[in-house]
Structure 1
């Protein structure tokens, strides 16, 4: 049974409710500029995918520990791949920077975090996901707007419906634009007359830079940097929105991680403490806010910012995360899965994605090895599995 909009739906109710909802949406779509012919042609065979409703309250940016989230998104593998993309698309990225004033490393970092450089667009048909979310669950008005915009994208010939697959929420393409964002900000950078985020890397990279420029990105600012707080620092002043001049933070005793002084001047910056006072600390500028606007999660913006720094040759954060069981890179997650398979657990291919079957297998092994049975893939269970494999 699935709880939707506060109610438990009996079998068959979702189909009946969906059919009724679609009749209502047909009239609303016409008001949004979708022709009845387009609506009928592309919705006649739609059926709801109720699984997407459950994802509304389980986005990884908000439910995954920050050290797990960062370890999986910014690892040696993604840094190496990102540097290859910087080299492969250097000419395009140079033209993108010249036009939009967003540096190549930042644009490529968004690409890497959003779709692993085009390897993972998401497999859910946008029309199915967005029609379902238009009829069930929270934020129906928002998703109806995205649903109608997707139909307009098809109606205007920007993309064929079968090419519009993506995330459960409707983001699609190399850099995972929502349909409404596509309509506002996507650009035709390769000059073929189409705005194509699925099959044109130049269009996707330029559209991403255009997004960041419109979000307030400034070429003369860093996104921020890691800092060290003095003892007994009053963390009540922390917060991305609570921006103060850099000189004020320096006066409070905040310094760079190498002990050096903060940059002089009046540049506004906010103090970000993603894991509280015991973890890494950052001063972040309006450029961090531009990254945040891409997905409205501070952990997400930090992943892009850090990946961009690593692509430029920067180091990992100096202050460790406040945990005794650090997160795993994707290579380490695949190793965990291979070790689970070797113990007889049927979890599918070792892809580095910790899904339901992997978590259930982890719980069983954790119980067998006397560890906390939370299904989490961290360094502790990896070491335990390695040791068990040797015995």
Structure 2
């Protein structure tokens, strides 16, 4: 979709509510940049960047951009090595699900969200009526992406995207986004100096990438422009609702809910790949943490994002819709749970294994290598704990008489040969 990862381009609002002002900038520190240079990692230069911009212009013209637009938007761009450093180092920054949720669904965020919903009640009601997406869900995205509009990012989108396209690590993706951003300028919806957002090119109240603006942004206030950047959040919030609607949001259906699993539950069933009717889960002894029966919103899966000692969730198709906004389970759970809290729901009741820490990138890579070498194929070594790695962890756990919950912990790593 239009995100890089849940802990970088997404959730600027999560960072701003959690950190002191000095830590809110998305730029990497001078020290980090110097370390990269000392390690011999080539970051680039202004001269190289200027040469790249000249090479880029013919490709931009071939994509339909005029020389007038290019002259206006690319003049005086400065290469920002801190953005490159940030992009290359993002996978080193990890959080456990509970640490992430502590910030994403903090008491402050809930209180500020309820205040924002009251302030913009008429707007949110109209958006819900038009797009069929509950107002608290729209508000949750707004809250997590930009702290309800209070921190939308202040970096030039064009400069950021050009820097990342020049860097080359993901050149094709960022050049596509740069062309999309320049076409927005050419379309007259925003001046280049006012197109500002995160270090990775995400923009506005709901942090759309430029390609998502083209596909999903709407002119909800009727002024002839799809303006997601202004202080007025109308177009941005409606655009987020339109995004979810286009991906199949079902109004009135839950994204998921916290559940209890019975003693002896088969943890092989705890994966998004296993979908069953709610009646089947109930027959297996799955019950809601809250009172009452399990709601029936179609096929459902059970997730254990923090392992068998953490909270369990029964998730429905709206969970997958939010995944199109950001694929990380932590992000989706945060949006869903924040929406529930904004609607007056309770906090997550189950505890978390807070004595555990998240694996670093090097440790995740090592885990995948060791699992595969031991005969539990992770189908690649990329440092991402996705379904294949979770399945490999489960298989190793079962073979070694451990609870097969698939949680990639330091204990699993240290016990692998």
Which of 216, 230, 252 matches 2:248? 216
- Relative CO higher for 1 or 2, CA cutoff 8 Å, sep ≥ 6? 2
Q: Which runs of 5+ in 2 are unaligned?
A: 1-33, 358-417
CA distance in 1, matches of 2:53, 2:187: 21
Which residue does the alignment assign to 1:228? 260
The aligned residue for residue 281 of structure 1 is 312
TM-score (norm 1): 0.77
Q: 1: distance between equivalents of 2:71 and 2:174?
A: 19
Structure 2: distance between partners of 1:287 and 1:295: 13
- Structure 1: give runs of 5+ residues left out of the alignment: 327-391
Shift of residue 181, structure 1, vs aligned partner: 0.5
Following superposition, the deviation at residue 174 of structure 1 comes to: 0.8
Q: Which of 118, 127, 140 in structure 2 is aligned with 1:87?
A: 118
Deviation at 1:3, TM superposition (A): 5.5
Please tell me whether residue 202 in structure 1 is matched to residue 234 in structure 2: yes
Aligned mates of 2:187, 2:245 — CA distance in 1: 26
Quick one: distance in 1 between partners of 2:343 and 2:184? Answer: 36
Local SS of the residue matching 1:141: helix
| 1:271 corresponding residue in structure 2 | 302
Q: Does 1:121 align with 2:152?
A: yes
Partner of 1:175: 206
Out of 45, 55, 60, the residue aligned to residue 24 of structure 1 is 55
Q: Distance in 1 between matches of 2:183 and 2:330?
A: 32
CA contact (8 A) 1:60 1:69 kept: no
Alignment of 1:129-168 (within 5 A): 129-168=160-199
**Secondary structure of the structure 2 residue equivalent to 1:63:** coil
Asked if 2 retains the 8 angstrom alpha-carbon contact of 1:217 and 1:290, the reply is yes
Map 1:335-374 → 2, pairs under 5 A: none
Deviation at 1:273, TM superposition (A): 1.4
Of 106, 113, 116, which residue of structure 2 is paired with 1:75? 106
Deviations 1:174-198 (A, max 9, x none): 1111111011111111111111111
Tell me the residue number matched to 1:384: none
> 1 CA distance for matches of 2:89 and 2:117?
33
1:322 match:
353
- Which residue of structure 2 lines up, in the alignment, with residue 365 of structure 1? none
Work out the CA distance in 1 between the residues paired with 2:295 and 2:319.
Answer: 17
Whole-Å separation in 2 of the counterparts to 1:232 and 1:193: 59
Residue 66 of structure 1: which of 92, 97, 105 is its match?
97
For the 8 Å contact 1:280–1:319, the answer to whether it is kept is: yes
